[in-house]
């Protein structure tokens, strides 16, 4: 008997090359295949969207927030005379001390808290006093900001302030308006009192992540040293490298070598450890839930193959009588389970990738449809003149305004392989049962 008969038999079970006879078991197999495909679609979409969200938020936190490496002043030098000039010199020394070739720039920053008072309100803010060259030289950070008017070299003067879009909207400020920044100062006797400083809004920026746009404002480094209390603010140097996700040991060594005693050096992973752990945990939980759906779909393969074994008992008996070994029969049913999973993967994975690539357009369409329906229902049964709020499928206050699409084909391959393994495992019991069928008992009933 030909060694190819298990493959030919498995193909016949699925109706490939067969006579096209009616078979309830075959319909069940195709139903299982469709179920696997449909279960893979949300799994792939969730995987791509979660990867894109994590990458988008991470890039903003790393490039705009903590930078790749930070040299933080815990020495107290800021309280005893160190100012903007000394911090700029330290940034230059860090760049000069790098022997690894990984450091591309370093910029001094002072960061503190303040209340920003605008024409129509006030809001709490993290004031970031940055080197005037930060936006001109730090291209990855500047590329993540959309500002109106655009931010360019020399745009940050002593009385200029850049406001995050959400913060600017909440206080009713726009470019050209004057806002007051309230910080805390200390008298010679150590008593705290509020300090009021006026700034002109040079530009309103958006990072695409409202959680950051609602708390950040930028002023010039010298202005920060003038209005921010050294006791309640932090001074540090942001160090940018060629690749934040590569080996940062060279940049860390350069920062430690150049920094005075009392400075501590941290990587972006150190500074954002809890947040990124939360991201990974959330992604793992979502994927686990989607995996359970795929597992249930693959379990249907087992019940479909049990029906197939019962339906094909006569063929199995004839094959065994003709000399087919039990292992060959078992293998043919395992192949049928494998081909069922493969068919589901060929349907589900490309469909999931297609939807994931167009996820922003899909969410925008669904959001418009939901809001049109909400407006129709409100006008139909709601009180006249009632305010109708906008419904967000992904609230930009917590998520990115646009999801970056990141397709990791390694993870896609892992999902596809896992689906095939699950399908074969689901086929194992009915396949073994088919291999143990006794032809004499079956033929007696014919």
| Residues 102-149 pLDDT 10s | 999 999 999 999 999 999 999 999 999 998 888 888 888 888 888 888
Question: Where is the domain boundary, 197, 231, 261?
Answer: 261
Question: Where is the domain boundary, 222, 238, 261?
Answer: 261
Identify whether the C-beta of residue 23 lies closer than 8 Å to the C-beta of residue 15.
yes
Domain that holds residue 92: 75-261
SS3 126: strand
Domain count, the chain: 2
* Inside any domain, residue 70: no
| 167 lies in the same domain as 294 | no
| 244 lies in the same domain as 131 | yes
Instruction: Name which of 59-68, 274-283, 350-359 the model is least confident about.
Output: 274-283
| 291 lies in the same domain as 232 | no
Is the pLDDT at 443 greater than 70? The verdict is: no
Q: What is the mean pLDDT of the chain?
A: 84
| 126 lies in the same domain as 256 | yes
- Give residue 242's pLDDT band: very low, low, confident or very high (50, 70, 90): very high
d(CA 165, CA 172): 10
Say what the pLDDT of residue 395 is: 67
d(CA 31, CA 43): 19
**Highest mean pLDDT, choosing among 205-209, 228-232, 319-323, 340-344:** 340-344
Helix (H) or strand (E) holding 216, with range, is strand 216-220
* Inside any domain, residue 187: yes
* Cβ neighbour number for residue 187 with a 10 Å cutoff: 8
Say what the pLDDT of residue 21 is: 60
| 181 lies in the same domain as 119 | yes
pLDDT tens-digit map of 138-170? 888 888 888 888 776 556 888 999 999 999 999
Q: How many CA atoms lie within 13 A of 193 on its CB side?
A: 7
| 371 lies in the same domain as 233 | no
The two structure tokens encoding residue 45: 């979409």
pLDDT tens-digit map of 2-19? 456 566 666 666 666 555
Question: Where is the domain boundary, 233, 261, 289?
Answer: 261
Alpha-carbon distances of 189 from 20, 82, 239, 263, 421, rounded to whole Å: 96, 21, 37, 28, 73
Higher pLDDT, 315 or 101: 101
* Inside any domain, residue 292: yes
pLDDT tens-digit map of 320-361? 766 677 777 888 888 888 888 999 999 999 999 999 999 889
* Inside any domain, residue 179: yes
Is the pLDDT at 24 greater than 80? The verdict is: no
The packing angle between helices 273-311 and 326-357, to 10°, is: 140
* Inside any domain, residue 66: no
DSSP secondary structure string for all residues of 43-80: HHHHHHHHHHHHHHHHHHIIIIII-SEEEEE-SSGGGG
Length of the chain: 446
* Inside any domain, residue 302: yes
| 241 lies in the same domain as 299 | no
| 34 lies in the same domain as 171 | no
Higher pLDDT, 270 or 393: 270
| 404 lies in the same domain as 290 | yes
* Inside any domain, residue 69: no
**Highest mean pLDDT, choosing among 12-21, 195-204, 295-304:** 195-204
Q: What percent of the chain has pLDDT over 70?
A: 87
- Give residue 68's pLDDT band: very low, low, confident or very high (50, 70, 90): very high
| 48 lies in the same domain as 187 | no
* Cβ neighbour number for residue 188 with a 10 Å cutoff: 5
* Inside any domain, residue 34: yes
Partnered with residue 192 across adjacent β-strands are 186
| 291 lies in the same domain as 255 | no
- Give residue 407's pLDDT band: very low, low, confident or very high (50, 70, 90): confident
CA 355 to mean position of chain CA atoms: 16
| 89 lies in the same domain as 37 | no
Say what the pLDDT of residue 382 is: 64
Partnered with residue 148 across adjacent β-strands are 204
Is the pLDDT at 172 greater than 80? The verdict is: yes
Instruction: Name which of 143-152, 173-182, 432-441 the model is least confident about.
Output: 432-441
Buried b (16+ CB within 10 A) or exposed e, 210-244: bbbbbbbbbbbbbbbbbbbbbeebebbbbbbbeeb
Do β-strands 192-206 and 160-164 pair in parallel, antiparallel, or remain unpaired?
A: parallel
């Amino acid at each position: 008997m030909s060694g190819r008969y298990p493959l030919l038999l498995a193909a016949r079970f699925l109706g490939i090359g067969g006579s096209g006879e009616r078979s309830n078991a075959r319909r069940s197999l195709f139903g299982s295949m469709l179920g696997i495909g449909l279960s893979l679609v949300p799994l792939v979409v969730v995987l791509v969207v979660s990867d894109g969200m994590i990458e988008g938020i991470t890039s903003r936190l790393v490039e705009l927030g903590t930078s790749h490496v930070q040299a933080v002043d815990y020495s107290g030098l800021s309280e005893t005379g160190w100012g903007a000039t000394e911090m700029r010199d330290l940034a230059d020394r860090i760049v000069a001390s790098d022997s690894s070739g990984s450091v591309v720039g370093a910029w001094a920053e002072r960061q503190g808290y303040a209340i920003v008072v605008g024409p129509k309100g006030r809001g709490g803010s993290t004031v970031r006093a940055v080197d005037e060259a930060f936006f001109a030289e730090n291209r990855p950070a500047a590329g993540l900001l959309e500002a109106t008017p655009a931010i360019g070299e020399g745009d940050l003067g002593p009385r200029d302030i850049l406001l995050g879009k959400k913060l600017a909207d909440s206080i009713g400020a726009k470019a050209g308006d004057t806002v007051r920044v309230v910080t805390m100062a200390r008298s010679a006797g150590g008593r705290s009192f509020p300090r009021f400083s006026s700034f002109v809004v040079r530009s309103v920026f958006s990072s695409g992540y409202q959680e950051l746009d609602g708390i950040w404002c930028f002023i010039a480094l010298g202005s920060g040293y003038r209005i921010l209390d050294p006791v309640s603010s932090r001074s540090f140097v942001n160090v940018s490298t060629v690749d934040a996700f590569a080996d940062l040991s060279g940049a860390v060594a350069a920062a430690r070598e150049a920094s005075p005693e009392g400075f501590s050096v941290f990587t972006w992973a150190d500074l954002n450890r809890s947040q990124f752990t939360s991201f990974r945990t959330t992604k793992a939980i979502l994927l686990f839930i989607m995996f359970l759906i795929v597992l249930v779909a693959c379990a249907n393969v087992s019940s479909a193959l049990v029906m197939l074994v019962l339906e094909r008992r006569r063929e199995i008996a004839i094959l065994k009588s003709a000399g087919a070994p039990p292992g060959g029969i078992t293998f043919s049913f395992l192949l049928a389970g494998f081909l069922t999973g493969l068919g589901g993967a060929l349907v589900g994975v490309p469909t999931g990738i297609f939807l994931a690539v167009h996820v922003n357009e899909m969410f925008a369409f669904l959001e418009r449809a939901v809001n049109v329906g909400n407006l129709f229902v409100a006008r139909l049964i709601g009180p006249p003149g009632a305010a109708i709020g906008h419904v967000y499928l992904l609230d930009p206050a917590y998520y990115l305004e646009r999801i970056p699409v990141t397709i990791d084909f390694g993870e896609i391959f892992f999902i596809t392989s896992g689906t095939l393994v699950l399908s074969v495992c689901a086929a194992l019991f009915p396949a073994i049962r088919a291999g143990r069928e006794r032809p004499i008992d079956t033929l007696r009933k014919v």
